[in-house]
Amino acid sequence: MSYTATIGFFDGVHVGHRFVLRSMLEVASQRGMQSAVITFTQHPQAVLTNKQVPLLTTTDERIKLLREQGIDEIFAFNFPVIKDLTAAEFIHILHNQCDVRCLLMGYDHHFGSDRLRSFEDYARLAAAEGVEIMKLPALCAEPTIGGRQPSSSAIRKALLQSDITSANTMLGYSYTLKGEVVHGKGIGRTLGFPTANIAVPQEKLLPAAGVYACTISCHKSSFNAILNIGNNPTVGGTGTTVEVHIPDFNSDLYGDTVTVEIKRFIRAEQHFSNTEELKQQIKADIKNLTDIKHL
């Protein structure tokens, strides 16, 4: 089966990515081909700079989101293995190993170790291989946020500034943390507000420290909840933890994998003079949450 494809890391599969994917799906349909995404198991920038890039989506989350867009096939390359290939060599692999016959490129996208800059150069190399390269529109049809086009880097910046509203708008869905509930120090329980401590994958970007309104999916249901990201300075915490308190919920979640959708920023992390002040603030946070009819 021949494919019409597009290429990218697609971290977050945000609204800009979805515009690209919709365009590719339309071309594939017009040509009677199946659709494919060419992506990578590691973030190219992390490999090229040898610096960790906190990700909006794990590999499994990214693949799931891509599948939900109606993509027929996903070819995930090991970037360290192919990073030194020239553009012509990579196109040859796409054509001969993946049966890509049409490749849609973003207006600012480049690939290949020879660092071609001209779209015409890519088109010429591809034509020699029997592949047609098409240029995607320069602008995403989706609304901008504060004048910015949706991008993975803009979303990361928004999350690190506690700007959940902008991040979620650019994503097109609520930013999600998923992980196993593990044992913590039990401090929340001693205060009367038991929390589920969530082990989030190391590569996943955590929003700025603070308290957030969220929903948590567990026990085949979804609950409004309070999310705390930080080191719990009032009780002498050290490392960063991700904890969720579900009001009026008493079931055991240890060992369960839960999904947290972050809806709104409530307040920054604070150091209180004593635990009584902390308890009063947690009560206020819960009141803030219960005032929300629809997250």
Domains of the chain: residue spans and CATH? 3-135 (3.40.50.620), 174-290 (2.40.30.30)
The tens digit of pLDDT for each residue in 223-244 reads: 999 999 998 765 656 678 999 9
Amino acid at 274: N
Bridge partner list, 212: 227, 265
Q: Return the number of other C-beta atoms located less than 10 Å from residue 24's C-beta.
A: 25
Count Cβ atoms within 10 A of the Cβ of residue 128 and give its class: 0-12 exposed, 13-18 middle, 19 or more buried.
exposed
Q: What is the pLDDT of residue 175?
A: 98
What share of the chain in percent tops pLDDT 90? 64
Ranking 7-16, 107-116, 256-265 by mean pLDDT, the lowest is 107-116
Residue 56: which of 16, 88, 13 has the closest Cα? 13
pLDDT of 257 above 90? yes
Q: What is the pLDDT of residue 86?
A: 94
Nearest 10 degrees: Cα torsion 236, 241, 247, 253:
-120
Amino acid at 14: H
Q: How far apart are CA 268 and CA 80, in angstroms?
A: 39
For the segment 177-190, the average pLDDT, to the nearest whole number, is 82
Q: What is the pLDDT of residue 138?
A: 52
The residue written with tokens 């603070």 in the block is 210
For the segment 143-168, the average pLDDT, to the nearest whole number, is 86
Q: What is the pLDDT of residue 255?
A: 92
For the segment 134-151, the average pLDDT, to the nearest whole number, is 65
Q: How far apart are CA 49 and CA 52, in angstroms?
A: 8
More confident residue, 293 or 52: 52
Count Cβ atoms within 10 A of the Cβ of residue 193 and give its class: 0-12 exposed, 13-18 middle, 19 or more buried.
buried
Residue 25: which of 75, 67, 76 has the closest Cα? 67
Ranking 55-64, 150-159, 267-276 by mean pLDDT, the lowest is 267-276
For the segment 210-224, the average pLDDT, to the nearest whole number, is 92
The tens digit of pLDDT for each residue in 189-203 reads: 777 688 899 999 999
The tens digit of pLDDT for each residue in 78-130 reads: 999 999 999 999 999 999 999 999 999 876 778 888 878 788 888 999 999 99
For the segment 277-285, the average pLDDT, to the nearest whole number, is 84
Q: How far apart are CA 117 and CA 33, in angstroms?
A: 28
Q: What is the pLDDT of residue 295?
A: 47
Q: What is the pLDDT of residue 1?
A: 81
Residue 228: which of 169, 187, 274 has the closest Cα? 187
What's the mean pLDDT when you consider all of the chain? 88
Q: How far apart are CA 7 and CA 16, in angstroms?
A: 14
β 100-105/175-182 pair status:
unpaired
Confidence of residue 186 (pLDDT cuts 50, 70, 90): low
Q: What is the pLDDT of residue 107?
A: 67
Q: What is the pLDDT of residue 235?
A: 60
pLDDT of 139 above 60? no
HEC string for 136-199: CCCCCCCCCECCECCCHHHHHHHHHCCCHHHHHHHHCCCEEEEEEEECCCCHHHHHCCCCEEEE
Residue 258: which of 185, 200, 174 has the closest Cα? 200
Residues 6+ apart with CB under 8 A from 277: 234
Q: What is the pLDDT of residue 294?
A: 47
Confidence of residue 290 (pLDDT cuts 50, 70, 90): low
pTM as predicted: 0.90
What share of the chain in percent tops pLDDT 70? 89
How open is the CA angle 94-87-118, to the nearest 5 degrees?
125
